[in-house]
Each structure stands twice: as C-alpha cells, then as structure tokens.
Amino acid sequence: MTGWKIDLTKIHCTTADLLREACKTSKDRTFFHYVPRRSEETYGGFQDKVNRMCNLLESEGGIQRGAKVCIMADNSPELLLTFSAITNMGAIWVPVNSQFIGESLRYIIDVSDASHICVSDEYRDRVAEVLRKIDRPVRILSIGEMTEQAAKKSGTYESPARPDDIVCIAYTSGTTGFPKGVMHTHSSIIRTGVRALEVLETTSEDRIHIYLPFFHGWAYMIMLGANYFKATMVIDEKFNPLTYWENMEHYRITQDHWTGTVPINLMKLPPSDAEQRIKLNVFGTFGALYQSMKERWPNIRFQSLYGQTEHACATSVPSDDIFPGSDGVPKYPDQILIMNDKGDPLPAGEVGEIVVRCKCGMRFKEYYKNPEATAEAIRGNDLYTGDLGFLDDRGHLHFSGRKKDALRVRGEMVSVEHIEHLINAHPLVAESAIVGYRPPEKERLKEDEVVAHIVLKDEFKLSALDFHEWCEKNLARFMRPKYVVFRDSLHKTATNRIQRFKVRDEGIKGATKLF
C-alpha cells in the first residue's frame, strides 16, 4: 500500500478467505464490541462460531451452495454470525429491511426465489403471515435457536465458496419502480468495503462505530473493510444521540459513518466537553451542513462520497477540499462522465445522467432475473446510474436528483410507483398518485414527506384515520403517507396517464395530516 492507494483489482477472495487471513495474525484481536450487551468477540472466536453455524446450516438447515437465504433481524452478534455463515457456505444472502410488512415483505421473499428465511423471534409471526401468500415452500429458521444449536457443532469447516460466486442480492429501494436485486460477488463487495475504509486511512488500530442496520449494504461493506484492515467494530442496535458522545469516549471510537439526520440530531444537544475532546474520521454526505458541522466539531475530519448499491463508493471528497454541493471526485482508476440522452458526454456545468466508468472491479454483476434492467445500466465498463448531476470546473461531482420519480424519506430512497401499487391494493381505493412535499425544515437534508392523493371507488367512503391505520399494517414506516388528499379525480393526459407533476404542484393543499 503506497499513499493509501490499494490496487483493488488484486483483491480476489471470498468472505471466508478474508476472515481466515485476519485470524492468521490477529486471532486474539477484538473483532467487535456489541454495545447493548457490553460484550465483545475476537476474530478467532468469531471464526470458530461461524464455522459451527456453517456445519449446522448445512447438516440440519438444508442450506446448500447457491441457495438464496433471506435474513430479517436487527443488529446483533447473532445476525453477523448468521449472514457470515451463509456467505461462507457459498449460499447467497438476501437482506430484508426489518421495517417491511405485508406486500413489500412478500415481494422480496418471493422474487428472490429464497428457499429459507432466517428471522429473529420478533419478526417470526410477520414472516409466517406473508409466507401463506407464496406458492412454494420457504423454510423459516430462528436465528436465536440456531445460535444455541450451532455451539454443539464442529469448529472446523472448509468453505466451498469462490471469489466470483454471488455473495448477496441486495434489493434496492425501488427508486424507479419495484426494487431490483443487485447481485454482488464476493470480490466486488469486499473491494467496495476496502475502498470505503481506505479513504479514511484505516489501520488495525481503528475502532469503527456501526449503528447503521446491516440490511443496508453500507454496514456490511464497513464490516468487510474492517476485516481486511483487521480493525475493531463497535456495533449498536441504532443511533442514539443521547448516549452518542459517551459511547464514543468509552469505546475510544476513531471512525464513524453518518447519515444525513445524525448531525442534525447531535446539533440539537447542548454543547459538551466530551464532543470537543473526541477526534473522529467521519464518512457521510453532508452538503450544506458541512460548514456548521466544522464550526461545532473542529476535531472531526469529515469525508463525503457519491455512490449506489450498484457501485457504492464512486467518488470521495478530499478532506481539505470539501465545499457545499460537492459529492467528490472520482476514485482512481474510475471515471465520472455526464451524458445526455443520446449518450454524448456533456461539458462542465451541464446537467445530465451520471455515468461511472468502472475499472476497479467494484461494480455489481447484474440485476437478478432482470436482463433488461441490467442491459440498461451496464454498457461495457460504464454504469448508467439513473441519477442526474454535473461536474464543475474543478472536477467535483454535484448530484441533482433522480431521472425518474423517487422520494427520500427518513433516510430511505423509495419509489412513488411502489407506494402507489401498495395503496391501490386497498379494497376501497380506485387509484392513487404519490408525490413528495418538502417542508422548509427538511430542505437542508433533501428529505421529503409522502403525500397520497386518492380516488375512492364509486359510492365508497374512507376516513383519514382508517386509511392511516391501514397503512400502519401494510406499509413500511418510511413509505407511509404523512398527508392524504381524497379527491374525485386525478390530473391525466389524453392517453389517461396520471400527470404527477400537476399533482405535485398542489403541494399539501386540502390535505389531512395523518401523524
């Protein structure tokens, strides 16, 4: 490694290889602390438990190489143990957002062709209910029970996985329709994790805070990067601003990864001596918040990026060159191009589609069982992202939005088409149009509230309260409309297509606030 530039193309291994290599020199080093239990696990101890879990899942769980296995659980040591065993077995992990219920949950399990779903006990009933709507057998396995049973198995296991095998199918938030299954290989996902932590000049002495849910790809990539650098993770169930600085100090954390809401919540707290004492490297997307963040926390070094599930770390912002609006410069050896609809490159300052010319082997392999979407996104070495942006005169990327309708709600990207599909399943709804409303206080975060415009079936009535209660049972929290407008008709074209832009222009006029 020279000047913090790792040749990612030389990294060609599996998750089992990665853990085995770490254990050769760092077997007794702490791999992670788990904050809620004040517990910890060494690299060697974790490898032993993963091997035992592999043997259990193979002999009694019926999971074989190439099987698709959904997992629905919140952050815990048992979750890490389960998905690590699945990937080391050469099976394919399908992460499931623990907020999913009803049709959203059924869709992921069904469309992924999962043969098993591993769940924590709190989600078992929810999963069992949707499995009754799937026309094939899907076996439920309890993560808690498996962890106890695995302790009796052998601690020796020979992984059949290979570097170019698919390691996971991560379903996107469906920003252009229904979620697509992003397929990463062992090598591509490991390279992504290494690049992300390389940007922060990670070493084995680093202690990395993870509160992000592992069903999102970013936490998993951080874990793989930590494994590569033999660093220590400090894992929490979720972000808690009230205990944040106390935990930073107690666990001597040196690195964190912030979503857009984290600095906002921390800034609401009164200033403290602890936050001034602590030195951190922080990765995130900050935009207009950067200046106020630097003034509040002068000892924190901030780093920003642009990426997607398909290619998670295409740019980074040099720490001495962060300014509002910048999403960074391309990470060597990749390039960023801005293309018009004809596929021609655009000059600096002009907005077009962001295209990543990938030469590092980090890009995803394909969309699961969706050759049309794959062909649209991958053209040679170029990844057409579906995002809009421009390059400035300094070569910095500026993200402008999605080419197709999507909303960012409570940190999640969500497709309006997907929400409409779910709401249209309500027995009294004839049709709906979903739009976003951005209140002034959320402008800095570029986050929206969901507004549902609904036309009911003839002669039916539906109260706002009844609609909200239905949404609580059928839609993930971040998909639920905060406002509803009941109307006689929707704006449409001559060919009967909804003119969503006209609905959007109405804002929340005539809307009822639901929560």
Q: In this structure, what CATH number is given to the domain that contains residue 445?
A: 3.30.300.30
| Residues 451 and 388 placed together within one structural domain of the fold | no
pLDDT one-digit tens code per residue, 342-353: 889 999 998 889
Q: Which of 111-125, 376-390, 424-438 has the highest mean pLDDT?
A: 111-125
Three-state secondary structure call for residue 321: coil
Q: Which residues contact 291 (CB under 8 A, 6 or more apart)?
A: 324
pLDDT tens profile 140-166:
999 999 999 999 999 999 999 999 999
So what's the pLDDT on residue 4? 53
> What's the domain range around 102?
8-238
Residues 47-75, mean pLDDT to the nearest whole number: 97
- In the structure, what pLDDT confidence band is assigned to residue 101 with cuts at 50, 70 and 90? very high
Beta bridge partners of 453: 433, 485
Q: Would 325 be classed as within a structural domain?
A: no
> Tens digit of pLDDT for each residue in 404-446?
667 888 878 787 878 988 999 899 999 999 999 998 888 777 7
**DSSP character for 65?**
T
pLDDT at 496: 66
Output the domain CATH number for residue 350: 2.30.38.10
Q: Report residue 11 as tokens.
A: 């990294």
- Backbone angle region of 239, left / alpha / beta, with phi > 0 → left and psi within -120 to 50 → alpha: beta
Q: Give φ, ψ of 188 to 5 degrees.
A: -70, -40
- In this prediction, residue 367 carries a pLDDT of 97
Q: Residue 56: count other Cβ atoms within 10 Å of its Cβ.
A: 22
Count up the domains in the chain and report the number: 3
Domain harbouring 58, CATH code: 3.40.50.12780
Q: How many helices (H) and strands (E) does the chain have?
A: 16, 27
| 422 and 380 within one domain | no
The pLDDT of residue 288 is 66
Helix (H, G, I), strand (E, B) or coil at 377: helix
Judgement on whether residues 26 and 86 belong to the same structural domain of the protein: yes
Domain finish residue from 238, 261, 276: 238
Q: Which residues contact 293 (CB under 8 A, 6 or more apart)?
A: 263, 267, 286, 300, 302
Please report the pLDDT score of residue 260 as a whole number: 74
Same domain, 98 and 149: yes
Residue ranges with strand state E in 96-231: 116-119, 139-142, 166-171, 181-185, 207-210
| Single pTM value for the model | 0.84
Tell whether 17 and 72 lie within a shared domain: yes
Residues 411, 428 share a domain: yes
Q: Region 56-63: what's the mean pLDDT? A: 96
pLDDT at 177: 60
Write the pLDDT tens digit of every residue in 236-260: 999 999 999 999 999 999 999 998 7
Compute the chain's Rg from CA coordinates: 23
CB of 352 closer than 8 Å to CB of 346: yes
pLDDT in tens, 309-327: 999 989 988 776 777 778 8
